[in-house]
Amino acid sequence: MTNPDSKQPVFTQDIRAVAQQLSSDPEHGLTQAEAERRLAEIGPNQLSQAKNVSPILLFLKQLKNPLLIVLFFGSVLSFYIEHYIDAIAIMAIILINATISFVQEFKAQRSMDALRDMAAPKCWVKREGEWHNIAAAELVPGDLIKLETGTITPADARLVESVQLQIDESALTGESDPVRKKIDPLNDENLILADQINMAFMSTAVTHGYGTAIVTGTGMKTEVGHIAELMASTEQRLTPLQLRIKNMSHILIWAALIIVSFILALGFFQGMTFIDMSSTGISLAVAAIPEGLPTVVTIVLTLGAYQMMRSNALAKHLTSVETLGSTSVICSDKTGTLTQNKMQVKQIWVGGKQFYLDGLGYEPKGQFFDHNQQVIDPNRDQQLTNMLSMSALCSDTRLVEKDGHYTIHGLPTEGAIVVAAAKAGITKEKLLADQDIAHSFPFDSSRKMMSVIVYDQNNQAWLYVKGAPDVVMSRCDYIMFDDEKHAFSKHETQAQQAVADFAHQALRTLAVACRPLTEADLENPDIALETELTLMGIYGIIDPPRPEATIAVKECHSAGIGVVMITGDHAETARAIAYQMGIVKQADAPVITGAQLNAMDDSQLFDQVKDVRIFARVTPEHKLRIVRALQAHGEVVAMTGDGVNDAPALRTADIGVAMGLSGTGVAKESADLILLDDNFATIVTAVREGRRIYDNIRKFIRQALTANVSEVSALLFAFMLISSTFDDAGNLVVLLTLAPLMILWVNLVSDGIPALALGIDGAESDVMKRKPRPSNESFFANHLSHRIVIRGLVLGALTYGVFKYAIDQGFSLEYAQTLAFMTLIFGQLFHIFDARTFTTLYDRNPFSNVALLWAVAGSGALSIAMVYWPYGQLVLGTTSVGIEHLLMVIALSALPTLILSGIKKAGQVRWL
């Protein structure tokens, strides 16, 4: 944080210098008149709010879809040539597509609103020597504010007074522990946010102690405001699905324009009337464009989102459902995402003996193991029991249970040793039944220790001490070693080595010691009492990985997905956790820190980012740079996080994943996907679901475009083979194989209804064994385009052949078109069983998707009804046909799929 009037950061200046630059008083604060003047000049202590797009403009935006624009012109032309039913039907399709898209976008994120909600509504400020409780929005730079346990810091401020003050900055910096605050100036101007320990930042929570501070930044001039600016300036990229649909739309539009232009030119030279050419053009445009594509894709994604929600993954944006299936790299925050965000004792060194603990979170359940990893009863080891008992008594933190869930009230590190004791059945409440705490000396940052005076059941006074090992051991004269009391110097080397071993594993350490007291000792101050101690043992504490997250990392690797840890924590801690979880394979894997990132330009980061899996001590800007560098390599990046500091990167990533339970409101609003159970493993479930959905969308596109090729080719054959006649005026009239509304029916009903069933089709067996698909991979990759064209042309030729047969037999145009209509519909219904697999229909059980069977049966029945129902005949232009002809075309329509799939299966022809 830099004062606007000085290039020197305020955390490097003493309090008087800061107060002077801000024209403030560190004892009495500002005058009321001066505060009002500054408020009028600078503005309220609020984050700026972006203007929301009006619902009307948002709806009109949906109409920019190129496919809908082409259909709109087709509708207008239909009105002009008085084909009113066609025009109304096409316009209805346009409105349905636009409405579905509008509803989804109307639920867009409100990140800035969430940031504003985090601001403290009220705060204590000192003006003219008197404390006032005012709205946080009225704060100005130079105000003197009060910080107390349980309050939210209302603005960025330089600390003036700090009494045991600790602030939880994890949401802003990624640090897992509350930060102990000091007031002394810091020497390094390049300190990252997490190391600016004489500063308090907006929206962080005071967890312990109290203090006062001078406001140095308000509103958008705070660190949270800086993040808000990053978010506001960060444009979300189109998802891979959106890009693919956009590219495919352009291809379809150009194909439609070329075909329509060719046919119109041909019709013009053949002497067709404008009305007939227009009718033909509308038919071809409708045939070339899959009208149901936007609607079906949206519905398929919605169904997928529902399935994911049942697995505790809430998709805020439908396109994010598919994007997960494209993910090639997951950038994950450490604290609370890969780890439990609950400190735990994992190892205990007690006088030469090593013990290990397991368990989850703060639940007081877990086993103790000896150095051979054999389960032991901790109460059978007297020295271990004594150490756990002393630790429970020498603690102000309480373990609280509510509805089967355990939390702590107090400091996380203290909570870890309280839970460790509880796992052995030792609690402070039980111990106090026959012991008594006479006095407590709270933790002090200068002493780095806490101690209590306890009277045991024999009324003997004891001093129990816990604190930083280097400080505690410097005051030890004795050590309990192999259940006997020895001079500390005799085993000092072993004790120091235990501390070093814990540190090498990135474990935080606490030492426990004691001494008996006489009545005379009780009159002495804590400094005098905390000497001549006997070392009992050392705790190794860490915020451990989530077990299920470790399994999920392994699954990600098997699916070809890289995992990158990006954390605000220290490098050694991050490396140890990454190694434990299998994110990296070497215990000495490379780590890039925030300081190193500052020294790199974007090209240097680009060169290294693919080879590094751990980034530590990073800022929000660093996270953005890392995500963008990976994206520059063509990676589809998912970013997980739970804090305010994660929000810009969550927005920039191809898909942002927030924690639902522990995540801040800002993170949730900025994300595309929310894990309702905070379980990293849920991401793997979501990836599997995303891949399944993408497969099903490709299968629908194959089905839909095969129908479009069939329709267009059936119409083209009519032109090329001159299925025509002359009207009374001598004008050439081309006999169209299909009427426009017949084509609409095929696209929306015979394709649309079964396509919805394809949306819930189960995943194929190899879905999580494939590598992530490239972000620029087309829908038509792996010969899909060849299959669409070949199957479509064959079915189109068959459709035209049935039509030509009926015309040659002297049947009416309506009768011939109805037979062609039936041929095309049932050809598509048979084809869908081949389209639901990337192999052939002979390799997948056709009865495994019951919904698809019902959809095919329903689509076929509805289509037959439109042939024999008078109102159906009126709308579509169909006519009743003989049962023998209906059975004939149903049998013929099965042949293309059965024969071509058989050839593909027998000859292993991948492109067929």
CA 207 to chain centre: 28
At 404 the pLDDT is: 81
456 is catalytic: no
Q: Give 273's pLDDT tier (boundaries 50, 70, 90).
A: low
Mean pLDDT of all residues in 357-385: 93
Residue 687 is encoded by which pair of tokens? 């990836």
Q: Which positions ≥6 away from 266 have C-beta within 8 Å?
A: 719
Q: Give 485's pLDDT tier (boundaries 50, 70, 90).
A: very high
Mean of all residue pLDDT scores within the chain: 83
Q: Which carries the bigger pLDDT value, residue 895 or residue 264?
A: 895
Q: Which carries the bigger pLDDT value, residue 608 or residue 321?
A: 608
**Closest CA relative to residue 836, chosen from 693, 696, 691:** 696
Specify the residue for token string 């006999």: 735
- Reduced to 3 states, what is the DSSP secondary structure of residue 226? helix
| Most confident of the following: 111-115, 447-451, 508-512 | 508-512
Residue 394 is encoded by which pair of tokens? 């020498």
Helices (H), 443-546: 469-474, 488-504, 526-529
Q: Which carries the bigger pLDDT value, residue 104 or residue 544?
A: 544
At 652 the pLDDT is: 85
At 427 the pLDDT is: 94
In whole angstroms, give the CA distance from residue 723 to residue 734. 6
Q: What share of the chain is helix, strand, coil (3-state, %, to 5)?
A: 50, 20, 30
- Reduced to 3 states, what is the DSSP secondary structure of residue 662? coil
Q: Give 489's pLDDT tier (boundaries 50, 70, 90).
A: very high
Using CB atoms within 10 A of its CB, is residue 810 exposed (0-12), middle (13-18) or buried (19+)? exposed
Work out the number of other CB atoms within 10 angstroms of the CB of residue 726.
10
At 754 the pLDDT is: 82
In whole angstroms, give the CA distance from residue 822 to residue 802. 10
At 310 the pLDDT is: 82
Catalytic residue among 333, 642, 654, 751: 333
Q: Residue 779: left if φ>0, alpha if ψ -120 to 50, beta else—which one?
A: alpha
In whole angstroms, give the CA distance from residue 536 to residue 539. 10
Of 109-113, 158-162, 330-334, 498-502, the least confident: 109-113
Whether 341 has a pLDDT exceeding 70, the answer reads yes
At 712 the pLDDT is: 83
- Whether 83 and 279 have beta carbons less than 8 Å apart is answered as yes
Kindly report the pTM of this predicted structure.
0.66
Q: Which positions ≥6 away from 60 have C-beta within 8 Å?
A: none
CA distances from 800 to 17, 279, 408, 825 (A): 89, 18, 75, 13
Pairing of strands 732-734, 724-726: antiparallel
**Closest CA relative to residue 740, chosen from 281, 414, 243:** 281
In whole angstroms, give the CA distance from residue 592 to residue 609. 9
**Closest CA relative to residue 284, chosen from 827, 747, 716:** 716
First to last CA, the chain: 64
Q: Which carries the bigger pLDDT value, residue 298 or residue 474?
A: 474
At 84 the pLDDT is: 66
In whole angstroms, give the CA distance from residue 234 to residue 226. 12
Mean pLDDT of all residues in 131-148: 92
The pLDDT tens digits for 740-777 are: 778 878 877 777 778 778 777 877 777 787 888 776 67
At 283 the pLDDT is: 63
Whether 3 has a pLDDT exceeding 60, the answer reads no
In whole angstroms, give the CA distance from residue 662 to residue 643. 9
At 422 the pLDDT is: 96
At 292 the pLDDT is: 61
- Whether 477 and 484 have beta carbons less than 8 Å apart is answered as no
Residue 73 is encoded by which pair of tokens? 């012109």
Q: Give 863's pLDDT tier (boundaries 50, 70, 90).
A: very high
At 373 the pLDDT is: 92
At 465 the pLDDT is: 96
At 81 the pLDDT is: 56
* Three-point CA angle 73, 76, 81, nearest 5°: 125
In whole angstroms, give the CA distance from residue 460 to residue 440. 16
Q: Give 114's pLDDT tier (boundaries 50, 70, 90).
A: very low
Whether 249 has a pLDDT exceeding 80, the answer reads no
**Closest CA relative to residue 30, chosen from 40, 19, 43:** 19
